[in-house]
Structure 1
Amino acid sequence: MAGTAGPEPGADGGEGVFERHRRLLFAVAYDMLGSVHDAEDCVQEAWLGWHRADRGAVGEPRAYLVRAVTNRALNKVRSAKARRETYIGPWLPEPLGAAPDAAERAERAEEVSYALLVVLETLGPVERAVFVLREVFGLPHAEIAAAVDRSEQAVRQIAHRARAHVRERRPRYAPDDAERRRLTERFLAASLQGDVAGLKALLAEDAQLVTDGGGKRKAALRPILGAAKFARFAASIGPGYTHLRFEEAVVGGEPAGLLRGPDGGVEAMLVAEFSEGLITRMLVLRNPDKLAGFRTSAAGRGDAARS
């Protein structure tokens, strides 16, 4: 597993130990928070705490640092939930791909897909922490118990509940890349044409559309449920975006689509979930604050969205 502890160097004030675990710490915080900025804050706070600590009394630096960053992330999760009560419209996680060097820092974050991050939002703070530490990073129950200040038996029970909760809500069908691309391109083409019937043919009856504009870009203020409503909404706004071009991307180890404007900036990120050849949920991130980290492409890069 990433971040195995080693002997603390005597000459660097513990910096070498912390740097050895920085990727692990960032990944834990990000998977718990779904925010690159908040995860970076947690790591920075853990770094400052590490420098103030009596490191000579720390027997297991990795366990100590994971506990420190987990405690900070738990505090941020609680405050973030309060902030999201005033957030305009649905809240979607910030994609890890939006951080220029995130792939280098989050050594194992590719194991958590963007869609799974959305599911993790439905867990309570401690449940999410236990799920991330156990299911993603494989930490022992005893170590997790110390990190979340619970008994080992309680952690086992929490882990069982969290696994069942996630299993019920995560996508059960993953199309191959060719099918995913074909369905996504058909969806975009039908949207751009305002083709309600064409869209409905691509959607499961209980399909959901979730859009996050953060009050800064046009988006639905609540999830749109059902194929008919989904298709009508997509067809009503699609013709206004014919100037955008589609580009394939990988976000959190999962295929996604980017819609870029004429200047190369990302106007939207799309992540689709499928079942038996139909779209069951479309996540559309439009909040510019969460898209700003995507690099601007050269003019003409990517596949043009065709009508």
Structure 2
Amino acid sequence: MTTPSEPDHGAGPDTSLGAIMRERRQLINLAYRLLGSLAEAEDAVQETYARWYAMSRQEQEAIESPAAWLTRVAGRICLNLLGSARVRRENYVGAWIPEPLPEPSEWIGGRPGGTTADPADRVTLDESVNMAFLVVLEAMTPAERVAFVLHDVFQYTFAEVSEVVGRTPAACRQLASSARRRIRESRPSAAPTAQQAGLVRDFAQAWEAKDIDALIGLLDPGVVATGDGGGLASATPQPIEGAAQVARFFAHQAAIPDVTLLERTVNGQPGLVAQQHGVTVSVMAFETAGGRITRIWAVRNPDKLRPWTAG
């Protein structure tokens, strides 16, 4: 297995600390797309490095491509985590939404203890991490998700994918094809960023004005709003469906005192951040189609707001 970040070493594999740690960002990017959680991605990458450094120097130098080894091990760890995550998320209080990420320039926070996040850990934002895409990935089987992300997003061959998934290249091809079909069936054509930004801005203004009619006009009749509070009493445990119901819900939320709405990029797409007394309490991502908002995802779980909140 090869990786885009792997250098060409004519004298043999480079197993120096610098060369191994240069793969960290690639691994974080892969693990986040596979798991939908930055915290779990960090844990998976940490475990990958723990396995590398548990080997002797002789064992490390016998590996032809350390970058490929790291990617293969990280992929397998994520595959195993996805299996157990399905059980954990079935017992999660309310809906589980992937962890939202800000623009790299807006990345505030840190790991537990208030330490600042390493720039090398920041996820590259592109089409493969927007919230709508990640939500579709959540509906896939672990094997489908891993095969699709490795092949379609990171451009690995099916022979290489088979080393991670533990199935034949032909079976991995079928897994990726099934995943591709799920995405085509579940996602509308993406709206231009400028159009989506305008809809989100208008939504924020109507929300702050508690203008239910204006909100209904911006929402698709079949709109679904989903909240992830991680068990917070203030979070809605079930999705809200229908333009009128969603509009009334947000108009009611506008009555909460000292809340400020900020336009921010969420997973590479126009979104909103709600702050109360200067502290981020909710991050919202949107899906739009046909000039209206079709999906709203609001994350209120504090554990998922680390990159948005100062330590």
What TM bracket, shorter-length normalisation?
0.7 to 0.9
Name which of 128, 148, 154 aligns with 1:137.
154
Between the aligned partners of 1:181 and 1:110, the Cα distance in structure 2 is: 16
Q: CA deviation at 1:10?
A: 9.2
The answer for the alignment partner of 2:142 in structure 1 is 125
Contact 1:9–1:17 (Cα < 8 Å) also in 2: no
Q: CA deviation at 1:5?
A: 4.2
Query: Where in structure 2 are the equivalents of 1:208-223 lying within 5 Å?
Result: 208-216=224-232, 218-223=234-239
Contact 1:190–1:196 (Cα < 8 Å) also in 2: yes
Between the aligned partners of 1:114 and 1:210, the Cα distance in structure 2 is: 12
Between the aligned partners of 1:245 and 1:122, the Cα distance in structure 2 is: 33
Q: Which runs of 5+ in 1 are unaligned?
A: 297-307
The answer for the alignment partner of 1:253 in structure 2 is 268
Between the aligned partners of 1:61 and 1:111, the Cα distance in structure 2 is: 28
Name which of 186, 201, 212 aligns with 1:169.
186
| C-alpha spacing 1:40/1:245, structure 2 compared with 1 (3 Å) | same
Contact 1:32–1:129 (Cα < 8 Å) also in 2: yes
Q: Which runs of 5+ in 2 are unaligned?
A: 111-116
| C-alpha spacing 1:218/1:173, structure 2 compared with 1 (3 Å) | same
The answer for the alignment partner of 2:298 in structure 1 is 284
The answer for the alignment partner of 1:72 in structure 2 is 77
Between the aligned partners of 1:227 and 1:109, the Cα distance in structure 2 is: 30
Larger RCO (alpha carbons 8 Å, 6+ apart): 2
Between the aligned partners of 1:102 and 1:153, the Cα distance in structure 2 is: 39
Name which of 277, 294, 299 aligns with 2:308.
294
The answer for the alignment partner of 2:204 in structure 1 is 188
Between the aligned partners of 2:40 and 2:170, the Cα distance in structure 1 is: 30
* SS of aligned partner of 2:262: strand
Name which of 36, 43, 60 aligns with 2:65.
60
Name which of 188, 207, 218 aligns with 1:202.
218
**TM-superposition CA deviations, 1:71-119 (whole Å, max 9, x none):** 1111111222211122111111112336654653356453422221122
| TM-score (norm. length: structure 2) | 0.86
| C-alpha spacing 1:138/1:19, structure 2 compared with 1 (3 Å) | same
Q: How many aligned residue pairs are there?
A: 294
Amino acid at match of 1:227: A
* SS of aligned partner of 1:197: helix
Instruction: Give the percent of matched residue pairs that are identical in Structure 1 and Structure 2.
Output: 36
Between the aligned partners of 2:214 and 2:141, the Cα distance in structure 1 is: 39
| TM-score (norm. length: structure 1) | 0.87
Amino acid at match of 1:224: I
The answer for the alignment partner of 1:302 in structure 2 is none
